[in-house]
Amino acid sequence: MSVSTLPTYDDVVARYEPVIGLETHVELGTRTKMFCGCRTEFGAEPNTQVCPVCLGLPGSLPVANKAAIEATIRIGLALNCSIAEWCRFARKNYFYPDMPKNYQISQYDEPLCIDGHLDAMVDGQEYRIGIERVHLEEDTGKSLHVGGATGRIHGATHSLVDFNRAGIPLVEIVTKPVPGLGARAPEVAKAYVTELRSVVRGLGVSDVRMEQGSMRCDVNTSISLPGAEWGTRTETKNVNSLRSVERAVRSEMIRQASVLDSGGRIIQETRHFHEDTGVSTSGRSKEEATDYRYFPEPDLAPLAPDAAWVAELRAALPEPPSVRRRRLQEAWGLTDHDMDSIANAGPVELIEATIAAGTTSEAARKWWLGGLARRANESGVELDSLPITPAQVASLQGLVDSGRINDKLARQVLEGVLAGEGEPETVVAARGLEVVSDTGALGAAVDEAIAANPDVAQKIRDGKVAAAGALVGAVMKSTKGQADAKTVRDLILERLGS
């Protein structure tokens, strides 16, 4: 089907009602894996963090990681779930080349946490998203497809498998279906994942980096005519950024509408989202749960979290992000809309830390929502993955406040810090970026500018002081922006007797 036949988004939401659902996987930041003592460091040499258990060798037996169970219960509590008094792990049987046991230890009809909710904000309006379940499972390994242009299996000459990730604890958070969002569905989906990320990050149980895969999102979408039964849903996988959560819902709504409009029917299937093009392609037709032949995992004892322990974990939960935001909004003196845009862009914690490091809320917001947000966008990473710390942003702003650099030089210093040249102070010294306000040093440049622009100089002598701007500009240019503009202006007026 050619692109030109696709209906517009406005047209789609005028005629169809969407229902969305989100399944989010969070890799826990435990020191060891879910069922063995292997380390979990990201980026280690392939197949160096493996043992008989996570390689699925015969005779090896799993032992559950208590820290992972605790982290999952804390996530459940933070999402207002009930914690099961008794539950079990289950075997989910299927073949994947990067899953050596040919089954995944997961949870099926007895998840650890059930029936909660999380509120997501869009433009000052709150949307309550029901949480169906939060369960614990193990991650698979990773396949690397080599020899093709795209890194995908299509066109590859061979594939390599890295089992370092196999067995890392993975928490799956599944929402209830969310109907009634209308045109807002894509934004609410993004706001929910953003909020979920804040909650999990606040608990300190995962670094929740979507671009590194420690948080991954599958998006279920269906559309139907108003009042009709819900449509068949598809599941879009590989949604690896917050922006793409929104894009995936929107593009799938449009795709499904175009299929229905042309008299076709939606097939229940898995689709793969492509970050680069923003479109999804058809994957496998979706299995039913019965295809996996789930059964209780016989090698692990059931879980029965002690009520007193759960109560202890509940009492020790951190301040929820929504409460924290309200507190900060008041402290920073922001409108709902301003606070929403910060929350949706993600940098609440970064701005908070920058202010704590000694700068104003206005300056902190300017850096994180301005130049740094642009840079993150261009590089396709999250703000907190940029190689700059809140303390460095605060010290950069400190240099501006003290008059040692101006805004223009500050942008160059920022470039230097992002390029790994060290602290702002070091970059200023190494690149010689300090503002020159020494009248002796600037005098020659001022004289040159006057000599080169006799007409302008005459106007100023005649009392047209406003014309001095042109000469200030000339001096700024010849000093590569390093002159202190006020000093230059004073020198010009002094020399021309105005």
- Residues 32-71 touching Zn ion, rule: CB under 5 A, are 36, 38, 51, 53-54
Contacts (Cβ under 8 Å, ≥6 apart) of 214: 26, 27, 29, 42, 206, 207, 208
* Helix H or strand E encompassing 144: strand 142-146
Q: Which residues pair with 159 in a beta bridge?
A: 145
Query: Is residue 253 close enough to count as binding Zn ion by CB under 5 A?
Result: no
Beta-carbon count within 10 A of 83 CB: 22
51 or 357: CB nearest Zn ion? 51
Please, what is the minimum distance in Å from the beta carbon of residue 30 to Zn ion?
A: 13
Please, what is the minimum distance in Å from the beta carbon of residue 141 to Zn ion?
A: 11
Please, what is the minimum distance in Å from the beta carbon of residue 63 to Zn ion?
A: 11
Buried residues in 185-204 as b, exposed as e (16+ CB within 10 A):
bbbbbbbbbbbbbbbbbbbe
Please, what is the minimum distance in Å from the beta carbon of residue 192 to Zn ion?
A: 33
Instruction: List the structure tokens of 47.
Output: 């197949």
Of 459, 110, 436, the residue nearest 297 (C-alpha): 110
Please, what is the minimum distance in Å from the beta carbon of residue 35 to Zn ion?
A: 8
Please, what is the minimum distance in Å from the beta carbon of residue 42 to Zn ion?
A: 16
Of 39, 349, 70, the residue nearest 194 (C-alpha): 349
139 or 172: CB nearest Zn ion? 139
- 158-162 and 142-146 strand pairing: antiparallel
26 or 54: CB nearest Zn ion? 54
Q: What angle separates helix 371-379 from helix 361-369, to the nearest 10 degrees?
A: 30
Please, what is the minimum distance in Å from the beta carbon of residue 33 to Zn ion?
A: 5
53 or 210: CB nearest Zn ion? 53
Of 61, 103, 59, the residue nearest 299 (C-alpha): 61
Please, what is the minimum distance in Å from the beta carbon of residue 55 to Zn ion?
A: 7
51 or 259: CB nearest Zn ion? 51
56 or 371: CB nearest Zn ion? 56
Give the whole-angstrom CA distance, residue 14 versus residue 351.
39
38 or 413: CB nearest Zn ion? 38
101 or 250: CB nearest Zn ion? 101
Give the whole-angstrom CA distance, residue 216 versus residue 218.
7
What residue type is 169 in one-letter code? P
Please, what is the minimum distance in Å from the beta carbon of residue 91 to Zn ion?
A: 18
The helix/strand count (H/E) of the chain reads as 17, 14
54 or 199: CB nearest Zn ion? 54
53 or 433: CB nearest Zn ion? 53
- The set of long-range contacts for 36-41, using a CB threshold of 8 Å and a minimum separation of 24, is 36/60, 36/62, 36/63, 36/167, 38/167, 40/168
Please, what is the minimum distance in Å from the beta carbon of residue 101 to Zn ion?
A: 12
54 or 492: CB nearest Zn ion? 54
Contacts (Cβ under 8 Å, ≥6 apart) of 167: 33, 34, 35, 36, 38, 53, 54, 138, 139
45 or 288: CB nearest Zn ion? 45
* Helix H or strand E encompassing 284: strand 279-285
Please, what is the minimum distance in Å from the beta carbon of residue 21 to Zn ion?
A: 33
| Residue labelled with tokens 């322990």 | 309
What are the angstrom distances between the C-alpha of 19 and each of 114, 191, 221, 236, 282?
21, 16, 6, 14, 20
Please, what is the minimum distance in Å from the beta carbon of residue 89 to Zn ion?
A: 16
Q: Which residues pair with 24 in a beta bridge?
A: 173, 217
103 or 108: CB nearest Zn ion? 103
Please, what is the minimum distance in Å from the beta carbon of residue 258 to Zn ion?
A: 47
Count of residues near Zn ion by CB under 5 A: 5
Of 200, 226, 168, the residue nearest 34 (C-alpha): 168
383 with 376: CB under 8 angstroms?
yes
Contacts (Cβ under 8 Å, ≥6 apart) of 239: 216, 217, 218, 219, 245, 248, 273
Q: Where along the sequence are the contacts to Zn ion (CB under 5 A)?
A: 36, 38, 51, 53-54
